[in-house]
Amino acid sequence: MLATSLKTGTVFKEADQPWLVEKYEHTKTARGGATIKVKARNLLSNQVLEKRYQSAAKIDDADVHKKNIQYLYQDGQYHFMDPETFEQFELTKDVVGESAKFLQEGETVQVTYFDGSPVLVDLPMTIVFEVAHTVPGFKGNTISSVYKEATLTNGTVVKVPTFVKEKDRIKINTSTGEYTSKA
């Protein structure tokens, strides 16, 4: 594939290592050719680098496949189950990464495999959570966007509007960690 195919979320292979594009930028200069600048994370070592390519450069496709997996629980390791074979396996914090703060027991996630080993956990774009604890909102705070902290049932703390109460079900954007709406 060409370097212009590298978009945010694309997995490619360089030096026999899988890399995930976290940020993509395409720049064109008046006299020179176009260049592709990506911020990429090595899925095996978690090393993050900025890489530059000419737009016509050839990039190796990573031989990855994705599978829907169910999250079970965490006890230092993160335990998952394949819903087709009922095989259970563990992943480390390095593989789960930032997704860990939005995992809920029973939630289905997508796991990316490279050479038969899991290397990345992808969450759905939004997940519904119940608010376990938050302070009451105050009257008169409706003129502007005022936010308060709320603790979700999995222990994650997020900012929510003042009208959100305990036991409310809310949607959280998993890529930004922000409140999107009531569920």
- Least Cα distance to 113 among 143, 78, 139, 82 occurs for 82
| Domain end (from 46, 61, 76) | 61
Average pLDDT over residues 157-163: 90
* Range list of β-strands (E), 55-141: 60-61, 64-74, 78-81, 88-91, 108-114, 117-122, 126-134
| Domain end (from 40, 61, 82) | 61
pLDDT in tens, 104-140: 899 999 999 988 888 888 899 999 999 999 988 766 6
Q: What burial letters (b/e) apply to 142-174, b meaning 16+ CB within 10 Å?
A: eeeeeebebebebebebebbbebeeeeebbbbb
pLDDT at 154: 87
Residues 6+ apart with CB under 8 A from 77: 90, 91, 92
Instruction: Kindly report the number of other CB atoms within 10 A of residue 12's CB atom.
Output: 21
Residues 156 and 176 both lie in one domain: yes
Instruction: Report the alpha-carbon distance of residue 65 to residue 82 in Å, rounded.
Output: 14
Residues 69 and 117 both lie in one domain: yes
Q: How many domains does the chain have?
A: 3
Check which CATH number belongs to the domain holding 46 and give it. 2.30.30.30
Q: Residue 159 sits in which domain range? A: 126-182
pLDDT tier at 37, thresholds 50, 70, 90: very high
Instruction: Report the alpha-carbon distance of residue 120 to residue 112 in Å, rounded.
Output: 5
Residues 41 and 79 both lie in one domain: no
pLDDT at 139: 63
pLDDT at 13: 92
Residues 150 and 167 both lie in one domain: yes
Is a pLDDT exceeding 60 seen at residue 142? no
Residues 112 and 148 both lie in one domain: no
β-strand partners of 24: 38
Residues 140 and 154 both lie in one domain: yes
Check which CATH number belongs to the domain holding 157 and give it. 2.40.50.140
β-strand partners of 112: 66, 120
Residues 70 and 54 both lie in one domain: no
| Domain end (from 61, 78, 103) | 61
Kindly state the helix (H) or strand (E) to which residue 147 belongs, with its residue range: strand 147-152
Prediction pTM value = 0.77
Instruction: Report the alpha-carbon distance of residue 82 to residue 70 in Å, rounded.
Output: 6
Is a pLDDT exceeding 80 seen at residue 31? no
pLDDT in tens, 90-101: 998 888 888 889
Q: Could you give the 3-state DSSP secondary structure of residue 86?
A: coil
Residues 154 and 165 both lie in one domain: yes
Contact 53, 24 (CB under 8 A): no
Residues 83 and 49 both lie in one domain: no
Average per-residue pLDDT in the chain? 88
Question: Percentage of residues in the chain with pLDDT exceeding 90?
Answer: 40
